[in-house]
Structure 1
Amino acid sequence: MRNLNLDQVQTLVAIADLGTLAAAAQALHLAPPTVSLHISELESRLGAALVVRGRRQASLTPAGEALVAGGRRLLAGADEVVEQVRRRAQGLEGLVRLATTAGVSAGLLPRLLERLARQSPGVDVKLDVLSSAEAMARLGAGTLDLAIVAMPQAAGGDVQVRPWRTDPMVALIPPAWDAPAQATPQWLAGQRWMSFGPATQMYRLIAGWFAQAGLNPRPRMELNHPLALRSLVGAGHGVAVLPLEQPGVAGGDVEQDNAGLQVRPLSPPLWRELGLARRASQVHDTAILAVWAALESLAVP
């Protein structure tokens, strides 16, 4: 069987996203007969019906849905290859694939990209938000270059892990609430509190803190996004326990994302530890080293 034609796969994906062959033709700047030809050739090549053509809508068959799912990955990979070739042809240094956990705030990542832009303007970063387990697996498979992961993580094979940041966990409390000087497990268990979901290491970290006090309260709400949790706190819907990400210098100010909220230390203290992971076989890649150096400039022991 001949290889898939990516233009034809892109046509099928456009039909899946837009719902009609006519809309796909318009979006792809193709004549409607060309769109129909793309689908017919795909179906002939695969020996399977991919699209059910209705009077007003086009829907995918199960085989079509399977091809669209895989086709999205093929198209993303092709785009990445084209971008790498383009950058090398223009004399740029390269593209680095970096993964981060959802618990890293939207305040820390812009500081990373700003430093990288100053220090290595020819290096670009493709950022993915992944669980630490998925990031470690993709590093091992060679589909990532660097990852910010929750600690502890076991290094293995070609993947190296080193400590990066240790940030204190704090309670973020609505401005109008009567809050204590410190947030204890007993006080927090009696409040409307919100957290990351049970599948995350952030949740397990907080659950362990409660367990040490003999408590096992259930959060009122679970959201795997720091900014969303902060917004809900600001609106008075509850308390959130999140890391306080100080800048990578001593004596830095409280991060701006918490402006207007009451910030209270936890008692007993609790810390969120992050690490940096990379493949040992790429320690001499200049673009990866540039991103690694920018990350290390934000380290907090």
Structure 2
Amino acid sequence: MRNLNLDQLQTLIAIADLGTFAAAAQALHLAPPTVSMHIKELESRLGADLVVRGRRQADLTPAGEVLVSEGRQLLLASDDLVERVRRRASGREGVVRVGVSAGVSTHLLPRVLEALAARSPGVEIRLEAVGSAESMQRLKTGTLDIAIVASPQPPLAEVRQAPWRNDPMVALLPADWDAPEFVTPDWLAQRRWASFAPATQMHGLIANWFGQAGHHPRPFLALSYPGALKNLALASQCAALLPLEEVADQQGTARAQIRHLQPPLMRPMAVAHRHQASPAVQSVLGLLAEFAD
């Protein structure tokens, strides 16, 4: 048996929905003889009567009802397939490799991914935890498509950088600490605190914050992941210096205290990408721009 003809199946579904051959012909912009021919060929192909032709109404036979019920899903799947092929051919579907530095909020990324899945379901993001300097080099060699990096980064001819976010840093303190309204380098240098690992640009920002006040203290622990630093403070082990966005869920809770820094310390970040960006990459860039501050 030959495969189903989707145009003929669509004609049958139109008759089922509209009730007559004439109405189906008008809706599908077909001549009435063409509608009749579609149904005759479909019945011949399946070896079954599909429509009972009445004077005023065309009704489906039990076989026709089965075909219409399942055929609707078949047409939807066909439309989806055509759209996916078109998206892939135009570059609007594919894999986008995104490098993410240690300072990017673990709360922000899930929101970005959720928004992308809703807006561009054909685009798959593959995240890689990569330091900012390495991300820039991988953009240059083409093994990354986009990178969220600490700013500024040395310019590269092949790579474009755009400011993205400039978030304030805060101190997350154990709940039982007797803390001032603002945390200063003088106060924190005398206590246990945790920071980002030396290989990160965040480490340099924090070291410079202490250095400008004449301090060069060694952290209690140096880790690469914001979530781990946050958990140390929540477990009353030490203070942690983190972007406010990372700890905003702890505001007003009894588990920890949040204090702004004095002098203020900001964490600037940029989105970097190669000059030639595919439509899939452009869709991710457009979404990231909506999460800029």
Aligned partner of 1:63 in structure 2 is none
Of 118-127 and 136-145, more deviation after overlay is shown by 118-127
Question: Partner amino acid for 2:173?
Answer: I
Among residues 265, 280, 289, which one is paired with 1:287 in the alignment? 280
2:163 and 2:239 mapped to 1: Cα distance? 29
The 2-side partners of 1:89 and 1:118 are apart by 19
Aligned partner of 1:297 in structure 2 is 290
Deviation at 1:123, TM superposition (A): 1.1
In the aligned structure 2, how far is the partner of 1:198 from the partner of 1:286? 36
| Residue in 1 that maps onto 2:152 | 152
Matches within 5 A, 1:97-108: 97-108=97-108
Matching residue of 1:129: 129
8 A Cα contact 1:101 1:129, kept in partner: yes
Instruction: Tell me which residue corresponds to 1:228.
Output: 228
Q: Which residue of 1 aligns with 2:186?
A: 186
**1:224-253 CA distance string (max 9 Å, x none):** 11111111111110001111128xxxxxxx
Would the alpha carbon gap of residues 140 and 257 (structure 1) be closer, same or farther in structure 2, given more than 3 Å must change?
farther
TM-superposed CA distance for 1:195, in Å, is: 0.6
Name the amino acid aligned to 2:106. A
Residues 1-301 of structure 1 aligned to structure 2 (within 5 Å) = 93-245=93-245, 255-256=248-249, 260-282=255-277, 285-300=278-293
Please list the CA deviations of residues 156-213 of structure 1 after superposition, one character each: whole Å capped at 9, or x if unmatched.
1210011100000000001121111100000000110001111211111001011110
Q: What amino acid does structure 2 have at the position aligned with 1:177?
A: W
The equivalent residue for 1:250 is none
Distance in 2, matches of 1:240 and 1:95, equals: 35
Which deviates more from structure 2 when the two are superposed, residues 112-121 or residues 182-191? 112-121
Residue type of the alignment partner of 1:286 = P
Contact persistence 1:139–1:279 (CA under 8 A): yes
Which residue is equivalent to 1:34? none
CA distance in structure 2 between the aligned counterparts of 1:192 and 1:201, rounded to whole angstroms: 21
Distance 2:198 2:285 in 1: 30
Structure 2 residue matching 1:104: 3-state secondary structure: coil
- Cα deviation code 1:143-163 (max 9, x no counterpart): 110000001112212100111
Of stretches 130-139 and 255-264 in structure 1, the one that deviates more from structure 2 is: 255-264
2:68 match: none
TM-score, normalised to structure 2, is: 0.67
Ranges in structure 1 where 5+ consecutive residues have no aligned partner: 1-87, 247-253
* Preserved contact between residue 99 and residue 129 of structure 1 (Cα < 8 Å): yes
Contact 1:195 1:223 in 2 (8 A): yes
Does structure 2 conserve the Cα–Cα contact (< 8 Å) formed by 1:166 and 1:272?
Answer: yes
Query: Highest CA radius of gyration, 1 or 2?
Result: 2
Q: What amino acid is the match of 2:257? A: Q
Query: What amino acid is aligned across from residue 112 of structure 1 in structure 2?
Result: V
8 Å Cα contact 1:107/1:255 also seen in 2: no
2: distance between equivalents of 1:133 and 1:101?
A: 9
Distance 2:94 2:200 in 1: 32
Structure-2 change in CA distance of 1:257 and 1:224 (3 Å): farther
- Measured in 1, the distance between the counterparts of 2:259 and 2:109 equals 24
Q: Map Cα deviations across residues 78-128 of structure 1 (whole Å, 9 max, x no partner).
A: xxxxxxxxxx76956111000100111210100111111222122110000
Question: Quick check: 2:250–2:256 contact (8 Å CA) kept in 1?
Answer: no
**Identity over the aligned pairs, expressed in percent?**
50
Aligned-partner SS, 1:245: helix
One-letter amino acid matched to 1:281: Q
